[in-house]
Amino acid sequence: MKMKSIKIMLAGLLAVPMMAIGASLFVPTNTFAAGSVGCTGDPTIQNGANCTQSPTNTTPENLFQNGGVFQTIVNVLLFLIGAISVIMLIYGGIRYTISGGDSKNVTAAKDTILYAIIGIVVAVLAFAIVNFVLTGLMPAA
């Protein structure tokens, strides 16, 4: 019963940042602001459709550039994976400490520690690969 409550608590702690990130992705932007190219007039459905057909607004300029949208999202997600892995590493260490020599609990704690270390390594390698690929795709200035 104690393990189930810990899992529910960890799931709750992880759900709040994920909801915040998800909500921030769907925040509407004012495309009809003064000075925006191709998006003038009243914010109506027809003007919005005309705005999306404008050749100047096909894709964001900083989608794949250094510090762009894709890199920011990937870096935030990889940071969360790394943070969860570190938390699980600490949790595995605590489980190992309080196992009391019971072989079943010791094995479970060692597995938790092993998987947490694998998670940290995967997060670091994924961060390096994404940044390497994005810098390789960037046009020379």
Other Cβ atoms less than 10 A from the Cβ of 109: the count is 20
- Does 70 lie in the same domain as 133? yes
Asked which of 58, 82, 99 is the last residue of a domain, the reply is: 58
Confidence of residue 108 (pLDDT cuts 50, 70, 90): very high
What gap in Å lies between CA 48 and CA 72, rounded to an integer? 27
- Express each pLDDT in 20-39 by its tens digit: 666 555 555 554 444 445 56
Of residues 129, 87, 130, the one with CA closest to residue 112: 87
pLDDT at residue 69, rounded to an integer: 76
- Does 12 lie in the same domain as 52? yes
- Express each pLDDT in 34-52 by its tens digit: 444 556 666 777 776 666 6
- Does 125 lie in the same domain as 103? yes
- Does 137 lie in the same domain as 111? yes
- Does 9 lie in the same domain as 22? yes
- Does 32 lie in the same domain as 6? yes
**Domain total for the chain?**
2
Tokens of 111: 């597995």
Query: For residue 91, what are the contacts with CB-CB under 8 A and spacing of at least 6?
Result: 112, 116
- Does 95 lie in the same domain as 113? yes
Residue 71's domain spans which residues?
62-141
pLDDT at residue 73, rounded to an integer: 84
CA distances to 77, 109, 116 from 74, in Å: 5, 30, 20
- Does 76 lie in the same domain as 43? no
